[in-house]
Amino acid sequence: MISKTTPQYKVLLIGSGLMTPPLIDYLVSFKDTKITVASNIQKDAEALSKKYPEFMNGVFLDVTNVSSNLNNTYRLTKWRK
């Protein structure tokens, strides 16, 4: 559980490629970072987020569809309680 006195950071990782898992491990080690993995392959983003569900979520992001991205901006930053 994250202490309320510990500063919390929000990180948006765009992409779910080869270097993402080591970066996630590093960021989670601080225990004060919430991570959103946004990828055009939603199942990859969700699979990555299952490793540390208390610190992460995975979402679909299509950088070629601007209107879709504007509609999903809130979802990218919304965290489960």
> What are 12-49's pLDDT values in tens digits?
999 999 999 999 999 999 999 999 999 999 899 999 99
Give the CA radius of gyration of the chain.
13
In eight-state DSSP terms, residue 64 is: T
7 compared with 2, residue with greater pLDDT: 7
Q: How high is the mean pLDDT of the chain?
A: 82
Tokens 């995975």 sit at which residue? 58
What confidence category does residue 64 fall into, taking pLDDT thresholds of 50, 70 and 90? confident
**What residues does each domain of the chain span?**
9-61
Ranges assigned E (strand) in the chain: 9-14, 33-39, 56-60
Residues facing residue 36 across a β-bridge: 12, 57
Quote the pLDDT of residue 28.
96
- CATH class of the 9-61 domain in this structure: alpha beta
What does the alpha-carbon distance between residue 14 and residue 31 come to, in Å, rounded to a whole number? 21
